[in-house]
């Protein structure tokens, strides 16, 4: 496939932004870019759910596995990870463990900030897919649980249910069913029963708009020319994210093991 170098670099935020990326991050970005381009080229030709299922036995891994635990690039190997500080904070995880997904959540949070969302929603956008480092299957539920002890209830509610609402359009709110899902799940995919049940519940919930706004600000593309750093979000994180003084993973909370697993993903047991 031909890569338009200029477009690719612009999509990553320009040459300066690319310079700051590690080799690994660049390779991942290229893979994501190519996937997106392929999807655009194959526009409106989507697989069926049965085609997606038929791919399972062509892989040596399952699609729900967390990004920290494998590389899906052909012939590539996983890399030794940077050590974490002794008392790691959320920002440390964003820097050292969340990988390419950091770019996506920063873009979502940036969009939420620009469109005047509440701080709870901006934070939800910043966190919403970061659990992909650990696990991708049912990520809304895993992610909400992992963050619940440290963030406002509205934020964890929005993270939990953005997953279900991603499967359902709400054009009035500005959310259309994404082609990405037609590609990922198949055009005739029917959401699992727990997703259907949660959607039904959410329609009458007073906080329906919290997860809905995460879906509206969710981005799967690298927006050309947008450079997003963590800087605009430092204050919001400081106000709303209660980093434990012992460090995430050391605080003996009910979810501390999830954070530890990301600190030491190479441990065999």
The residue among 88 and 98 lying less far from Fe ion, judged by its C-beta, is 98
The residue among 84 and 122 lying less far from Fe ion, judged by its C-beta, is 122
The residue among 119 and 218 lying less far from Fe ion, judged by its C-beta, is 218
The residue among 129 and 210 lying less far from Fe ion, judged by its C-beta, is 129
For residues 166 and 208, give the distance between their C-alpha atoms in angstroms, rounded to a whole number.
13
For residues 195 and 218, give the distance between their C-alpha atoms in angstroms, rounded to a whole number.
18
What per-residue string of b and e applies to 20-51 under the rule 16 or more CB within 10 Å gives b?
ebeeebeebbebbbeebbebeeeeeebbeeee
Q: Which residues bind Fe ion (CB under 5 A)?
A: 129, 218
For the CB of residue 225, give the shortest distance to Fe ion in the complex, in Å: 20
The residue among 211 and 244 lying less far from Fe ion, judged by its C-beta, is 211
- C-beta of residue 33 within 8 angstroms of C-beta of residue 222: yes
The residue among 143 and 244 lying less far from Fe ion, judged by its C-beta, is 143
For residues 112 and 80, give the distance between their C-alpha atoms in angstroms, rounded to a whole number.
34
For the CB of residue 218, give the shortest distance to Fe ion in the complex, in Å: 4
For the CB of residue 250, give the shortest distance to Fe ion in the complex, in Å: 27
For the CB of residue 215, give the shortest distance to Fe ion in the complex, in Å: 8
């Amino acid at each position: 496939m031909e890569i338009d170098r200029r477009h690719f670099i612009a999509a990553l935020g320009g040459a300066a932004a690319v310079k700051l990326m590690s080799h690994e991050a660049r390779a991942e970005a290229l893979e994501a870019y190519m996937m997106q381009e392929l999807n655009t080229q194959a526009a409106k030709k989507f697989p069926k759910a049965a085609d997606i299922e038929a791919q399972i036995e062509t892989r040596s891994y399952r699609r729900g596995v967390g990004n920290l635990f494998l590389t899906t690039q052909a012939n590539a190997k996983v890399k030794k990870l940077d050590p974490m500080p002794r008392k790691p904070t959320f920002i440390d995880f964003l820097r050292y463990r969340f990988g390419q997904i950091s770019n996506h959540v920063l873009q979502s949070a940036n969009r939420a900030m620009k469109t005047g969302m509440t701080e709870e929603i901006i934070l939800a956008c910043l966190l919403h897919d970061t659990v992909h480092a650990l696990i991708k299957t049912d990520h809304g539920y895993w992610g909400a649980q992992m963050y619940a002890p440290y963030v406002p209830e509205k934020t964890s509610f929005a993270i939990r249910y953005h997953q279900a609402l991603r499967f359902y359009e709400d054009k009035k709110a500005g959310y259309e069913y994404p082609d990405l899902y037609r590609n990922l799940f198949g055009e005739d995919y029917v959401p699992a029963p727990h997703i259907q049940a949660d959607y039904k519940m959410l329609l009458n919930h007073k906080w329906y708009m919290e997860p809905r706004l995460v879906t509206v600000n969710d981005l799967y593309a690298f927006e050309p020319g947008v450079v997003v750093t963590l800087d605009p979000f430092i204050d919001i994180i400081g106000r709303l994210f209660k980093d434990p003084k012992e460090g995430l993973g050391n605080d003996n909370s009910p979810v501390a093991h999830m954070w530890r697993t990301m600190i030491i993903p190479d441990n065999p047991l």
